[in-house]
Amino acid sequence: MDSNTIDYEALLKHAFRAKEYAYAPYSGFKVGAALITAGGRVYTGANIENASYGATCCAERTAVFSAVSCGDRKIAAIAIASDSENTIFPCGICRQVLTEFGDGEMDIVCGKRNGEYTVYKLHELIPQAFELT
């Protein structure tokens, strides 16, 4: 699946729906993510907080881990949604996890509350990503 065949608006709608399942009692900042694999399957995730903040998992990683646990290890694109008026981006840890399961040309759809979005390539958000050689 290439970026010409991905419906970014539909993927972002999946991310907004996933956001409704977020567990964010500490920050109140709910995030949803939806990814599409090279094979065309869609997986979603929401952020899940914990009183021990280190145990918190971001929406993007929740979606990635869901895909990987089902045997899908090649991500074509991911969309991220929240209630923020500003564009939302994946954190550094999520960017590194995305590097593991997508290439630098992977599309990252960064949304705003009003449904507007901007598409970035993964290599734009994490240049010189760490990879084992």
- 49: which residues sit within 8 A by CB, 6+ positions away? 23, 24, 25, 26, 27, 56
Complete domains list, the chain, with CATH = 3-125 (3.40.140.10)
Q: What is the pLDDT of residues 90-107, one digit of tens each?
A: 999 999 999 999 999 999
Q: Which residues are annotated as a binding site for Zn(2+)?
A: 58, 91, 94
Using alpha carbons, list the distances in angstroms from residue 76 to 43, 47, 115.
Answer: 12, 21, 21
DSSP assigned state of 123: H
Q: Which helix (H) or strand (E) holds 65?
A: helix 59-69
Q: What is the pLDDT of residues 6-27, one digit of tens each?
A: 999 999 999 999 999 999 999 9
Q: What is the pLDDT of residues 57-89, one digit of tens each?
A: 999 999 999 999 999 999 999 999 999 999 999
Which of the following is catalytic: 60, 85, 116, 131? 60
| Residue 20 annotated as catalytic | no
The pLDDT value given to residue 133? 72
Q: Which residues are annotated as a binding site?
A: 47-53, 58, 91, 94
Nearest to 58 by CA among 96, 109, 5, 4: 96
Total-model pTM = 0.95
